[in-house]
């Protein structure tokens, strides 16, 4: 039996696609827990198994092996009970563009068999909470991408689910809309809903999650709070960027640096405890070489550093808006 505060539990989840001769393993023994009142972020590149994990936990897909449950109900053998406890918001807004925002929510309330009077009150409350009241009677086809995502999120909360699965909720949004969605999601958590969030955005996991599970190639490689995970890669570093790789290598070869000093491109990284004294000493040592850096900064470890340390490859690229995202491999099997 799960602990009282565990709402979602997955143990040894396995899933493959394709034929017996040409099988692609997407999940390879995934273990996860979501506790009551928390946000768990499943962070990893496309193709790592995030969406497949969510589809299994939301009863949309049967695992090949392992077990999973929500509030003690098995996702395979008691799927109907599980569906009554959860909601799922996918990567793209599932709304009818020809209807108004209010009509969309009202229709979904009817599909959920909510009493008419309480459904009307709930719709009005959600439209107001998600800053959609002014646009409630406009066709959704006139909404911005961020407004559609907020409407989709509101629809998922109509039945007051215990657990909400958000599968990459800010995919395709511009940075400003992404920030707005983060505020909306924080409000959802404050109202008592537990969230299972999948994301490619490193900053998103850092900003929203109580705990982060890093998934790569169908396996969870690490789990913990963002600060706990960052401590795995050590202290902060002073990053010194020079005009060329040769200059960086020159300074690195003569300074009082540790053997583990890393020189990548034209950047020199020196581990530091972050104290003013140590930073001053490092900059003085650099000045003594006669080579002046173009810029320098004290940099704290990031989740990308953690991912790189644990998997040997980065978890991010840059999307068109310049936001750090995961490596771009389509999760085609899902």
| 137-160 tens-digit pLDDT | 999 999 998 899 889 889 988 989
pLDDT digits (tens, 9 = 90+) for 194-233: 999 998 888 889 899 999 999 999 999 999 998 888 887 7
- Say how far residue 48 (Cα) sits from the centre of its chain: 13
pLDDT class for 22, splitting at 50, 70, 90? confident
* CATH ID of 6-85+161-230, from 3.30.1130.10, 3.30.470.20, 3.40.50.300, 3.20.20.140: 3.40.50.300
pLDDT tens digit string along 52-63?
Answer: 999 999 999 999
- Are β-strands 267-272 and 211-216 bridged in parallel, bridged antiparallel, or unpaired? unpaired
For range 90-106, the mean pLDDT:
87
How far apart are alpha carbons 315 and 326 in whole angstroms? 5
Q: Is the pTM of this model over 0.85?
A: no
Alpha helices in the chain (DSSP H): 50-57, 79-83, 101-111, 116-129, 145-156, 175-190, 202-208, 226-231, 245-254, 276-288, 303-311
Per the model's pLDDT, the better-predicted residue between 60 and 275 turns out to be 60
Q: What is the mean pLDDT of the chain?
A: 85
Mean pLDDT of the 292-311 span: 81
Q: Which residues touch 3 (CB under 8 Å, ≥6 apart)?
A: none
Q: Is the pLDDT of residue 317 over 70?
A: no
Predicted local confidence at residue 3, as pLDDT: 58
Per domain, the residue ranges of the chain are 6-85+161-230, 236-299
Give the pair of three-digit tokens for residue 2: 């799960």
Which uninterrupted H or E stretch holds 239? strand 236-241
What would the pLDDT profile of 42-53 be if each residue is shown by its tens digit? 998 888 899 999
- Higher local confidence (pLDDT), 283 or 75: 75
| Residues 6+ positions from 49 with CB-CB distance below 8 Å | 15, 26, 27, 30, 215, 217, 218, 219, 331, 334
| Mean pLDDT to the nearest integer, 275-296 | 89
For residues 232 and 77, what is the distance between their CA atoms, to the nearest angstrom?
39
């Amino acid at each position: 039996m799960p602990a009282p505060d565990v709402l979602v539990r997955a143990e040894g989840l396995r899933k493959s696609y394709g034929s017996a001769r040409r099988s692609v393993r997407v999940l390879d023994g995934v273990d996860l827990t979501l506790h009551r009142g928390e946000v768990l972020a499943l962070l990893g590149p496309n193709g790592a198994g995030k969406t497949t994990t969510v589809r299994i936990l939301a009863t949309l897909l049967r695992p090949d092996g392992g077990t999973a449950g929500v509030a003690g109900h098995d996702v395979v053998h008691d799927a109907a009970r599980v569906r009554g406890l959860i909601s799922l918001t996918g990567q793209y807004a599932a709304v009818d563009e020809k209807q108004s925002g209010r009509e969309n929510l009202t229709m979904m309330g009817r599909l959920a068999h909510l009493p008419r009077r309480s459904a009307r009150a709930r719709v009005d409350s959600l439209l107001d909470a998600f800053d959609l009241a002014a646009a409630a009677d406009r066709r959704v086809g006139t909404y911005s991408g961020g407004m559609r995502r907020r409407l989709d999120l509101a629809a998922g909360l109509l039945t007051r689910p215990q657990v909400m699965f958000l599968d990459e909720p800010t995919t395709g949004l511009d940075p400003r809309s992404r920030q707005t969605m983060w505020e909306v999601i924080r409000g959802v958590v404050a109202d008592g809903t537990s969230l299972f969030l999948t994301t490619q955005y490193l900053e998103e996991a850092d900003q929203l999650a109580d705990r982060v599970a890093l998934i790569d190639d169908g396996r969870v490689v690490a789990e913990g709070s963002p600060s706990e995970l960052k401590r795995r890669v050590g202290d902060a570093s002073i990053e010194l960027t020079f005009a060329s790789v040769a200059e960086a290598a020159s300074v690195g070869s003569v300074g009082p640096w540790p053997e583990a000093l890393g020189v990548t491109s034209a950047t020199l990284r020196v581990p530091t405890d972050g104290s003013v004294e140590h930073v001053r000493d490092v900059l003085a040592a650099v000045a003594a070489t006669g080579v002046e850096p173009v810029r320098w900064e004290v940099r704290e470890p990031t989740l990308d550093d953690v991912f790189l340390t644990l998997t040997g490859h980065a978890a991010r690229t840059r999307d068109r808006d310049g936001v750090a995202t995961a490596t771009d491999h389509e999760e085609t099997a899902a």
